[in-house]
Structure 1
Protein backbone atom coordinates (compact mmCIF):
# COMPACT_ATOMS: atom_id res chain seq x y z
CA UNK A 1 0.00 0.00 0.00
CA UNK A 2 1.35 3.44 -0.87
CA UNK A 3 2.35 5.91 1.79
CA UNK A 4 0.89 8.96 0.04
CA UNK A 5 -0.69 11.53 2.32
CA UNK A 6 -4.43 12.00 2.09
CA UNK A 7 -5.77 15.57 2.06
CA UNK A 8 -6.99 16.89 5.39
CA UNK A 9 -9.44 19.47 6.68
CA UNK A 10 -9.79 21.45 9.88
CA UNK A 11 -12.02 19.72 12.42
CA UNK A 12 -13.42 20.91 15.73
CA UNK A 13 -15.71 18.81 17.92
CA UNK A 14 -17.16 20.92 20.70
CA UNK A 15 -19.54 20.08 23.53
CA UNK A 16 -20.92 21.89 26.54
CA UNK A 17 -18.01 20.45 28.53
CA UNK A 18 -15.35 21.81 26.18
CA UNK A 19 -13.27 20.85 23.19
CA UNK A 20 -13.13 17.14 22.29
CA UNK A 21 -11.03 17.49 19.11
CA UNK A 22 -9.32 20.48 17.50
CA UNK A 23 -6.89 19.50 14.76
CA UNK A 24 -6.62 18.34 11.15
CA UNK A 25 -8.48 15.18 10.07
CA UNK A 26 -8.63 12.96 6.99
CA UNK A 27 -12.23 11.88 7.59
CA UNK A 28 -15.09 12.06 10.06
CA UNK A 29 -18.12 9.79 10.11
CA UNK A 30 -21.20 11.28 11.77
CA UNK A 31 -24.48 9.72 12.98
CA UNK A 32 -27.62 11.14 11.34
CA UNK A 33 -31.30 10.26 11.79
CA UNK A 34 -31.25 8.09 8.65
CA UNK A 35 -27.74 6.62 8.77
CA UNK A 36 -24.17 7.86 8.74
CA UNK A 37 -22.38 10.57 6.74
CA UNK A 38 -18.67 10.60 5.95
CA UNK A 39 -16.96 13.93 5.40
CA UNK A 40 -13.63 14.23 3.61
CA UNK A 41 -11.45 17.19 2.63
CA UNK A 42 -13.08 19.74 0.30
CA UNK A 43 -16.59 18.46 1.09
CA UNK A 44 -19.48 20.58 -0.14
CA UNK A 45 -20.88 23.20 2.23
CA UNK A 46 -23.76 22.14 4.47
CA UNK A 47 -25.36 22.29 7.87
CA UNK A 48 -26.98 19.13 9.27
CA UNK A 49 -28.56 17.87 12.49
CA UNK A 50 -26.83 15.01 14.29
CA UNK A 51 -28.39 12.14 16.21
CA UNK A 52 -27.19 10.26 19.26
CA UNK A 53 -24.44 7.91 18.16
CA UNK A 54 -20.73 7.44 17.62
CA UNK A 55 -18.48 9.79 15.69
CA UNK A 56 -15.40 8.29 14.08
CA UNK A 57 -12.47 10.60 13.37
CA UNK A 58 -9.55 9.55 11.17
CA UNK A 59 -6.52 11.56 12.16
CA UNK A 60 -3.72 12.35 9.68
CA UNK A 61 -1.70 9.16 9.45
CA UNK A 62 -4.70 6.85 9.73
CA UNK A 63 -5.36 6.52 13.48
CA UNK A 64 -9.08 6.41 14.36
CA UNK A 65 -10.57 7.94 17.48
CA UNK A 66 -14.15 7.54 18.62
CA UNK A 67 -16.61 9.64 20.57
CA UNK A 68 -20.14 8.99 21.79
CA UNK A 69 -22.26 12.07 21.12
CA UNK A 70 -25.72 13.30 21.92
CA UNK A 71 -27.79 15.57 19.72
CA UNK A 72 -26.08 18.40 17.88
CA UNK A 73 -25.23 19.86 14.51
CA UNK A 74 -22.40 20.00 12.00
CA UNK A 75 -21.35 22.81 9.71
CA UNK A 76 -19.04 22.19 6.77
CA UNK A 77 -17.56 25.15 4.85
CA UNK A 78 -14.20 26.25 3.43
CA UNK A 79 -12.49 22.90 4.10
CA UNK A 80 -13.45 23.11 7.78
CA UNK A 81 -15.91 21.07 9.79
CA UNK A 82 -17.37 22.21 13.10
CA UNK A 83 -19.36 19.72 15.15
CA UNK A 84 -21.33 21.11 18.10
CA UNK A 85 -23.04 18.60 20.38
CA UNK A 86 -24.61 18.54 23.84
CA UNK A 87 -22.23 15.87 25.12
CA UNK A 88 -19.30 13.85 23.82
CA UNK A 89 -17.22 11.23 25.57
CA UNK A 90 -14.68 8.59 24.68
CA UNK A 91 -16.03 5.01 24.88
CA UNK A 92 -13.35 4.07 27.41
CA UNK A 93 -14.57 6.87 29.72
CA UNK A 94 -18.16 5.59 29.85
CA UNK A 95 -19.27 4.32 33.24
CA UNK A 96 -21.09 1.13 32.19
CA UNK A 97 -22.89 0.77 35.51
CA UNK A 98 -24.26 4.29 35.30
CA UNK A 99 -25.26 3.80 31.67
CA UNK A 100 -27.09 0.58 32.60
CA UNK A 101 -28.90 2.39 35.41
CA UNK A 102 -29.94 5.17 32.99
CA UNK A 103 -31.23 2.52 30.57
CA UNK A 104 -33.30 0.83 33.29
CA UNK A 105 -34.63 4.18 34.53
CA UNK A 106 -35.72 5.17 31.01
CA UNK A 107 -37.37 1.77 30.42
CA UNK A 108 -39.35 2.11 33.67
CA UNK A 109 -40.51 5.59 32.76
CA UNK A 110 -41.56 4.54 29.25
CA UNK A 111 -43.94 2.01 30.79
CA UNK A 112 -45.66 4.63 32.95
CA UNK A 113 -48.41 6.97 31.87
CA UNK A 114 -46.74 10.22 30.84
CA UNK A 115 -47.41 13.42 28.96
CA UNK A 116 -46.14 13.54 25.39
CA UNK A 117 -43.25 15.75 26.50
CA UNK A 118 -42.25 13.32 29.27
CA UNK A 119 -42.57 10.38 26.88
CA UNK A 120 -40.24 12.04 24.33
CA UNK A 121 -37.76 12.82 27.11
CA UNK A 122 -37.82 9.17 28.24
CA UNK A 123 -37.31 8.01 24.64
CA UNK A 124 -34.31 10.33 24.28
CA UNK A 125 -32.85 9.05 27.56
CA UNK A 126 -33.29 5.47 26.41
CA UNK A 127 -31.62 6.18 23.05
CA UNK A 128 -28.67 7.85 24.74
CA UNK A 129 -28.25 5.04 27.29
CA UNK A 130 -28.35 2.39 24.54
CA UNK A 131 -25.81 4.29 22.46
CA UNK A 132 -23.46 4.61 25.41
CA UNK A 133 -23.77 0.92 26.34
CA UNK A 134 -23.19 -0.26 22.75
CA UNK A 135 -20.22 2.04 22.22
CA UNK A 136 -18.62 1.07 25.52
CA UNK A 137 -18.85 -2.60 24.53
CA UNK A 138 -17.79 -2.21 20.88
CA UNK A 139 -15.02 0.39 21.02
CA UNK A 140 -13.56 -0.43 24.41
CA UNK A 141 -12.06 -3.78 23.44
Structure 2
Protein backbone atom coordinates (compact mmCIF):
# COMPACT_ATOMS: atom_id res chain seq x y z
CA UNK A 1 0.00 0.00 0.00
CA UNK A 2 1.18 3.54 -0.72
CA UNK A 3 2.69 5.36 2.23
CA UNK A 4 0.41 7.86 4.01
CA UNK A 5 -2.57 7.03 1.81
CA UNK A 6 -5.36 5.06 3.48
CA UNK A 7 -7.76 2.80 1.65
CA UNK A 8 -11.56 2.93 1.85
CA UNK A 9 -14.11 0.28 0.97
CA UNK A 10 -15.58 0.72 -2.51
CA UNK A 11 -18.52 -1.02 -4.16
CA UNK A 12 -19.48 -0.33 -7.78
CA UNK A 13 -22.81 -1.99 -8.53
CA UNK A 14 -24.81 -2.04 -11.76
CA UNK A 15 -27.97 -3.77 -12.91
CA UNK A 16 -25.76 -6.56 -14.28
CA UNK A 17 -24.02 -7.19 -10.95
CA UNK A 18 -21.02 -6.08 -8.95
CA UNK A 19 -18.25 -4.41 -10.98
CA UNK A 20 -15.93 -3.83 -7.98
CA UNK A 21 -16.12 -4.71 -4.28
CA UNK A 22 -12.81 -4.21 -2.46
CA UNK A 23 -10.50 -1.65 -0.92
CA UNK A 24 -9.45 1.36 -3.03
CA UNK A 25 -7.11 4.32 -2.63
CA UNK A 26 -9.04 6.57 -5.02
CA UNK A 27 -11.96 6.64 -7.39
CA UNK A 28 -12.49 9.21 -10.13
CA UNK A 29 -16.05 9.57 -11.40
CA UNK A 30 -17.71 11.41 -14.32
CA UNK A 31 -20.00 14.12 -12.96
CA UNK A 32 -22.01 16.95 -14.52
CA UNK A 33 -19.33 19.62 -14.14
CA UNK A 34 -16.25 17.40 -14.58
CA UNK A 35 -14.54 14.60 -12.76
CA UNK A 36 -14.92 13.97 -9.02
CA UNK A 37 -12.06 12.28 -7.14
CA UNK A 38 -12.74 10.58 -3.81
CA UNK A 39 -10.09 9.58 -1.29
CA UNK A 40 -10.14 8.18 2.24
CA UNK A 41 -11.70 10.65 4.67
CA UNK A 42 -13.90 12.44 2.13
CA UNK A 43 -16.88 14.20 3.64
CA UNK A 44 -20.22 12.41 3.63
CA UNK A 45 -22.10 13.09 0.41
CA UNK A 46 -24.35 11.84 -2.38
CA UNK A 47 -23.70 12.98 -5.94
CA UNK A 48 -25.06 12.23 -9.44
CA UNK A 49 -22.90 10.35 -11.94
CA UNK A 50 -23.15 10.71 -15.70
CA UNK A 51 -22.12 8.53 -18.63
CA UNK A 52 -18.36 8.23 -18.80
CA UNK A 53 -15.28 6.51 -17.45
CA UNK A 54 -14.56 5.64 -13.84
CA UNK A 55 -10.98 5.13 -12.66
CA UNK A 56 -10.27 3.07 -9.54
CA UNK A 57 -6.83 3.04 -7.91
CA UNK A 58 -6.31 -0.24 -6.09
CA UNK A 59 -4.18 -0.52 -2.92
CA UNK A 60 -1.30 -1.93 -5.00
CA UNK A 61 -1.29 1.30 -7.07
CA UNK A 62 -2.72 -0.25 -10.23
CA UNK A 63 -5.68 1.40 -11.95
CA UNK A 64 -8.90 -0.27 -13.09
CA UNK A 65 -11.08 1.46 -15.67
CA UNK A 66 -14.76 1.10 -16.37
CA UNK A 67 -17.44 2.67 -18.50
CA UNK A 68 -20.57 3.58 -16.57
CA UNK A 69 -23.95 5.04 -17.35
CA UNK A 70 -25.95 7.36 -15.14
CA UNK A 71 -26.27 6.71 -11.44
CA UNK A 72 -25.12 8.02 -8.09
CA UNK A 73 -22.28 7.80 -5.60
CA UNK A 74 -22.56 7.90 -1.81
CA UNK A 75 -19.61 8.37 0.53
CA UNK A 76 -20.32 7.75 4.21
CA UNK A 77 -18.62 8.91 7.42
CA UNK A 78 -17.30 5.38 7.99
CA UNK A 79 -15.32 5.56 4.71
CA UNK A 80 -17.64 3.40 2.65
CA UNK A 81 -18.19 4.42 -0.96
CA UNK A 82 -21.08 2.95 -2.93
CA UNK A 83 -21.51 3.65 -6.62
CA UNK A 84 -24.86 2.62 -8.13
CA UNK A 85 -25.11 2.87 -11.92
CA UNK A 86 -27.33 1.43 -14.62
CA UNK A 87 -24.40 -0.20 -16.42
CA UNK A 88 -20.70 -0.76 -15.75
CA UNK A 89 -18.33 -2.55 -18.08
CA UNK A 90 -14.61 -2.95 -18.63
CA UNK A 91 -13.27 -1.26 -21.79
CA UNK A 92 -11.98 -4.62 -23.09
CA UNK A 93 -15.55 -6.01 -22.95
CA UNK A 94 -16.99 -3.28 -25.19
CA UNK A 95 -18.07 -4.35 -28.64
CA UNK A 96 -16.76 -1.42 -30.71
CA UNK A 97 -19.02 -2.25 -33.66
CA UNK A 98 -22.16 -2.19 -31.49
CA UNK A 99 -21.00 1.03 -29.83
CA UNK A 100 -20.42 2.62 -33.26
CA UNK A 101 -23.87 1.50 -34.41
CA UNK A 102 -25.42 3.03 -31.28
CA UNK A 103 -23.50 6.25 -31.94
CA UNK A 104 -24.70 6.40 -35.57
CA UNK A 105 -28.29 5.64 -34.49
CA UNK A 106 -28.25 8.41 -31.86
CA UNK A 107 -26.72 10.93 -34.30
CA UNK A 108 -29.34 10.09 -36.91
CA UNK A 109 -32.16 10.57 -34.42
CA UNK A 110 -30.74 13.85 -33.10
CA UNK A 111 -31.05 15.26 -36.60
CA UNK A 112 -34.74 14.35 -36.84
CA UNK A 113 -37.68 16.31 -35.55
CA UNK A 114 -38.56 14.89 -32.13
CA UNK A 115 -40.33 15.70 -28.92
CA UNK A 116 -38.21 17.07 -26.08
CA UNK A 117 -38.40 13.67 -24.36
CA UNK A 118 -37.19 11.88 -27.50
CA UNK A 119 -34.44 14.46 -27.98
CA UNK A 120 -33.15 13.93 -24.42
CA UNK A 121 -33.25 10.16 -24.93
CA UNK A 122 -31.22 10.54 -28.13
CA UNK A 123 -28.74 12.81 -26.30
CA UNK A 124 -28.34 10.22 -23.54
CA UNK A 125 -27.79 7.46 -26.08
CA UNK A 126 -25.18 9.56 -27.86
CA UNK A 127 -23.35 10.34 -24.58
CA UNK A 128 -23.26 6.65 -23.63
CA UNK A 129 -22.06 5.57 -27.08
CA UNK A 130 -19.34 8.23 -27.06
CA UNK A 131 -18.16 7.18 -23.58
CA UNK A 132 -18.01 3.51 -24.64
CA UNK A 133 -16.15 4.24 -27.87
CA UNK A 134 -13.67 6.53 -26.13
CA UNK A 135 -12.92 4.08 -23.31
CA UNK A 136 -12.63 1.09 -25.65
CA UNK A 137 -9.97 2.97 -27.63
CA UNK A 138 -8.15 4.65 -24.74
CA UNK A 139 -7.98 2.09 -21.91
CA UNK A 140 -6.49 -1.31 -22.40
CA UNK A 141 -6.37 -3.97 -19.64
- TM-score when normalising by structure 1: 0.96
Q: Deviations over 1:104-138 (max 9, x none)?
A: 00011111111111110001000100110011110
Structure 2 gaps of 5+ residues are none
The alpha-carbon deviation at position 61 of structure 1 amounts to 1.2
How far off its partner does 1:5 sit? 5.9
Q: Which residue of 2 aligns with 1:57?
A: 56
Matches within 5 A, 1:89-104: 89-104=89-104
Unpaired segments ≥5 residues, structure 1 = none
- Total equivalences in the alignment: 140
Cα contact 1:5–1:61 (8 A) shared by 2: no
* Aligned twin of 1:85: 85
Aligned-CA RMSD value: 1.4
Match of 1:46 in 2: 45
Look up the match of 2:12: 13
Q: Deviations over 1:75-105 (max 9, x none)?
A: 0001010000000000010000000000000
Runs of 4+ in 1 over 3 A off after TM superposition: none
Residues 61-80 of structure 1: matches in 2 within 5 Å? 61-77=60-76, 78-80=78-80
State the partner residue of 1:29.
Answer: 28
Q: How far apart, CA to CA, are the structure 1 residues paired with 2:112 and 2:37? A: 39
8 Å Cα contact 1:10/1:80 also seen in 2: yes
Matched, 1:137 2:137: yes
SS of residue paired to 2:132: helix
CA drift of 1:6 comes to 2.4
Q: Distance in 2 between matches of 1:42 and 1:5?
A: 12
Find the counterpart in structure 1 of residue 127 from structure 2.
127
- SS of 2:82 mapped into structure 1: strand
